Amino acid sequence: MYGSRFYDAVPIEGADPNPPSRDPHCQFQTIFLNWNAHGVVAALEMISASIQNICAFLRWWTGEPTETLPGLVAPADEDFEKPWADEPSITLLRRNLTITENHIDRLPEERLMEILQDRMSAGVQSEDPGASAGE
């Protein structure tokens, strides 16, 4: 089994769904995705067999002699179950703290850029003096 972790930017809950311009406010949601490489391989084999069958049919339909066509691939019934046979018990997990419109003070984009530039030039990453990179 394999897993991936990534972040997804989602809108602030309760924010205007049609803001007048691009909304710079968002929250990041952590997403954990578990998957099985053997299942992916089995699924790709089934897709490949399906494409080969469709191409052979279309070539036959347009009049190509059957002697030149590859034989139709007829997977066994159990092959249809292989992509899901060893699926992890939890395939997708989303974790985040919900931030609502009441939790933030909306600032104009220009002011947000000023704050960001000030912090980058000063090397400050957090307003919380107790916060550290290890927390």
pLDDT tens digits along 22-50: 776 778 888 888 888 888 888 898 888 88
Q: Between the CA of residue 51 and those of 55, 58, 59, what are the distances in Å?
A: 6, 11, 12
**Token code pair at residue 56:** 């052979």
Helical ranges in the chain per DSSP H: 37-61, 82-85, 109-122
Please calculate the CA angle 32-105-123 and round it to the nearest 5 degrees: 70
- The reported pLDDT for the residue numbered 131 is 44
Query: Confidence class of residue 106 from pLDDT cuts 50, 70 and 90?
Result: confident
